[in-house]
Copies of this chain bind each other. A is one copy, B any other.
Amino acid sequence: ARPRVGYFYSGKKTGQAISDTMTKWKVKDFQSVPVVIQEHISVYDAICQLFLEDVGSMFVVNKTGILTGVVSRKDLLRISIGNQDLNKMPVHMMMTRMPNITVCHKDDSLLSAAQLLMDRQIDSLPVVKRTDDGLEVVGRVTKTTITRAFLALADEHDI
């Protein structure tokens, strides 16, 4: 908690600036590093990777690095209680595939990304960049990202 300073010296700390902050925050200001896996790896290896990285979702890419799917803890739990051999099943057999993946872009507002997470009831959004071959994954936005932003908002304004 920084010391509060006089009104004239703290234009950025006034309440009005909070709405400015919320409006100007972009996805790129808060996105975290995406965890990416190849589509031919086994479901078992995907689960190991999920624990190793301690994330809620991972993005699946093809050999040229283009986004083809998403797998979440929920997807992996569902497949784990089935009677499948997780070592023999490739992750692309059970992932959510394009075009059923909701994405965002680095210059989108953080607010619009938060709205997408709620509206689609999803755990994470890949931040993507369009290339000639398809979408490349450059970041990740989750509800943890939004929680961090909520706290940053209070912190930046000495609440």
Q: How far is the CA of A18 from the CA of B150 in the complex (A)?
A: 12
- List chain B residues, Cβ under 8 A from A81: 44, 47, 80, 86
Which among B14, B78, B86, B118 is the interface contact of A16 at CB below 8 angstroms? Answer: B14
Interface size class of A (residues with CB under 8 A): 35 or more
- A-side interface mostly: helix
Near B by CB (< 8 A), chain A positions 50-81 give 50-51, 73-74, 76-78, 80-81
A-B contact pairs, 21 of them (CB 8 A): A14-B15, A14-B16, A15-B15, A15-B16, A15-B17, A15-B18, A15-B20, A18-B19, A19-B157, A22-B154, A50-B77, A51-B78, A73-B77, A80-B80, A80-B81, A111-B150, A111-B159, A115-B151, A143-B143, A146-B150, A150-B153
Asked whether, in the complex, the Cβ of A22 is within 8 Å of the Cβ of B146, the reply is no
